[in-house]
């Protein structure tokens, strides 16, 4: 499975590509950071990011796109820009029929370091170790994009099993309710 990881942002948007191997083995295929100038119009900045993400998707053909879910940030304006950058990447994936998953920063940190509150340095160190890289990926956005893709590779099978279990439980509940309704109906008929 090839997973594209995206650390969204207007000023710096991290893009990464990871391939899964046997078990928990993951290999980094590519990583890059798209930058857009702060004095450029918002719509043009989004266009630059969308163009870069689409080029990656068309070149690397990922099986899934994992994007960081933004909940809140200290700066509301930055948070909006981050959400919009993530939105245009999600749109590009949807247009190509590539499934999109969102992971929160704490899910990503927890997946790669075992601690949901780990700092940037710890994340970078673990990403470097997990992928067996010679040098630490910089800037932090590149490391984050790699961490996101790793998190998706490891969480995706678990999420799939959970979704299957939930669907099975729902199915069982429906069957049970149908049975109860049937019994009640028969009781009324007698």
Residue 63 makes CB contacts below 8 A (sequence gap 6+) with: 1, 2, 3, 98, 99
> Is 39 one of the annotated active-site residues of the chain?
no
Q: Give strand ranges (E) for 90-176.
A: 100-103
> Is 141 one of the annotated active-site residues of the chain?
yes
The CB-of-109 to a second copy minimum distance in angstroms stands at 20
Residues 124-183 that bind a second copy (CB under 8 A): none
Cα–chain-centroid distance for residue 121? Answer: 20
Of the candidate residues 47, 60, 106, 133, the single one contacting a second copy (CB under 8 A):
47
DSSP line for 141-164: HHHHHHHHHHHHHHHHHHHHHHHH
Cβ neighbourhood burial of 21 (10 Å; 0-12, 13-18, 19+): exposed
With respect to a second copy, which residue has the nearer C-beta, 31 or 53? 53
Cα–Cα dist 128/165, whole Å: 34
Which residue in 68, 166, 171, 177 is the catalytic one? 68
> Is 7 one of the annotated active-site residues of the chain?
yes
Report how many residues bind a second copy under the rule CB under 8 A: 27
Give the per-residue contact string, 78-117, with a second copy (x = CB under 8 A; - = no): -xx--xxxxxx-xx-xxx----x-x---------------
With respect to a second copy, which residue has the nearer C-beta, 94 or 181? 94
The CB-of-20 to a second copy minimum distance in angstroms stands at 21
Cis peptide before 139 (omega within 30 of 0): yes
**Residues assigned a catalytic role:** 7, 68, 141
Chain residues that interact with a second copy, rule: CB under 8 A: 41-44, 46-47, 50, 70-72, 76-77, 79-80, 83-88, 90-91, 93-95, 100, 102
């Amino acid at each position: 499975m090839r997973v594209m990881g995206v650390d969204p942002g207007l000023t710096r948007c991290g893009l990464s590509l990871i391939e899964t191997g046997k078990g928990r083995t993951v290999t980094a295929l590519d990583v890059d950071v798209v930058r857009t100038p702060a004095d450029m119009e918002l719509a043009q900045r989004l266009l630059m990011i969308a163009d870069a993400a689409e080029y990656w998707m068309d070149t690397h053909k990922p099986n899934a796109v994992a994007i960081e879910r933004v909940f809140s940030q200290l700066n509301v304006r930055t948070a909006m820009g981050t959400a919009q950058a993530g939105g245009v990447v999600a749109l590009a994936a949807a247009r190509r029929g590539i499934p999109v998953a969102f992971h929160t920063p704490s899910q990503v940190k927890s997946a790669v370091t075992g601690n949901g509150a780990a700092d940037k340095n710890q994340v970078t160190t673990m990403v470097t170790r997990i992928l067996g890289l010679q040098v630490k990926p910089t800037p932090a956005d590149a490391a984050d994009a790699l961490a996101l893709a790793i998190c998706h590779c490891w969480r995706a099978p678990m999420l799939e099993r959970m979704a299957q279990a939930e669907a099975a439980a729902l199915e069982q509940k429906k069957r049970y309710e149908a049975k109860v309704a049937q019994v009640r109906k028969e009781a009324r008929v007698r």
